[in-house]
Amino acid sequence: LIVYCHYLKLDFSTSNMETAEVKGFRDSGIIGPIDYTTWNCMKATPHYPDFKPLSLEDRDQITAFLHQSPPVTSELTFTNLFMWRYHYNFQWCLANDTLLLIGHIAEAPPFGLPPVGPHDLSSAFEQLLSFLANHSDAPEIHRVPEVLAQRYATALSLEVLEDRANSDYVYRTESLINLSGRKYHRKRNHLKQFRKRYSYRYQTLEDDWIEACLELEEQWCRLKSCVENPALLNEEQAIR
- 186-192, Cβ contacts within 8 angstroms, sequence gap of 24 or more: none
Contacts of 16 (CB under 8 A, 6+ apart): 157
The per-residue b/e assignment along 149-173, b for 16 or more CB within 10 angstroms, e otherwise, is beebbeebebbbbebeebeeeeeee
Cα–Cα distance measured from residue 76 to residue 128, given in angstroms and rounded to the nearest whole number: 16
Position 43 scores a pLDDT of 59
Position 161 scores a pLDDT of 87
CB 11 within 8 A of CB 2: yes
Q: What is the mean pLDDT of each run of 10 residues along the chain (240 residues)?
A: 44 36 32 36 78 95 93 90 94 95 91 93 95 92 90 89 84 92 94 94 90 92 90 87
Position 2 scores a pLDDT of 45
Position 10 scores a pLDDT of 44
**The pTM is what?**
0.74
Residue 167 DSSP label: -
CB 132 within 8 A of CB 1: yes
